[in-house]
Amino acid sequence: MKKEDVPQDDANILEGKFKVVKYAVNENGDYVVVPSVGWEPENVALEQAWDVVHENVADAKKKVQAGESSTLAYHMEVNMMDPALLAQHMNLPARTVKKHLQPSEFVALNNALLQRYADALMITVEELKKLPE
């Protein structure tokens, strides 16, 4: 890739915080580092990955609203976790976490456990118990 061909397709992925660097050759054929704000295929692939996350969150929200899942299931998806990963953070078996994704089980949880879930998901217990406005 030539220096002048380093793409600058800005999809605001870097939020203007910084530019990443790519390796490309200059007019003498020597490699140099060149800052870049992004490249269309990268942007598209990243957007695709986020679409999946957003779909999972939307699905979880629907299930909570339909009374099929506890609010824990929603906040787990917001943190891009599955029961196995959340279980590791909680130091609990995955099947226990899965159980807590059911509304009937979740309402019976004691405050200490709720607090641990809230910490693992970086929210307050109040937030854990509801969907965001």
Partner 1 sequence: MSEKEIVVPFDHQQSAHCETGVISNLMRFHGLRVSEPMAFGIGSGLFYSHMPFLKLNGIPVTSYRILPGHIFKRFSRNIGVEMKRMSFRDQDQAMRELDKVLDQGLPVGMLTSVFYLPYLPKAYRFHFNAHNIVVFGRKGDEYLVSDPVMDGTTTIHRTALIRARFAKGTPNTNGRMYYPVKVPTDADLKKAAAKGLRRVARDMANTPLPMFGSKGIPYLAGKLRKYQEKLGDRRALLYLGNLIRMQEEIGTGGAGFRFMFAAFLQEAATLLDRPELREKAKEMTAIGDQWRECAFEAGRMVKGRSEAGSSFATLADRLVAIGVMEQRFFKDLARTS
- Residues 6 or more apart whose CB falls under 8 angstroms from that of 74 comprise 57, 60, 61, 63, 64, 131
Site for partner 1 in 34-73 (CB under 8 A): 35, 39-42, 44-46, 48-50, 52
Which of 18, 66, 111, 133: binder of partner 1 (CB under 8 A)?
A: 18
SS3 24: strand
* Count of alpha carbons within 13 angstroms of residue 46, beta-carbon side: 11
Beta carbon nearer to partner 1, 9 or 103: 9
- Kindly state the number of chain residues that form the binding site for partner 1, as judged by CB under 8 A: 36
What are the tokens at 13? 């992925």
Q: Give the footprint of partner 1 on this chain (CB under 8 A).
A: 1, 6, 13-15, 17-25, 29-31, 33, 35, 39-42, 44-46, 48-50, 52, 80-81, 85, 88-89, 122
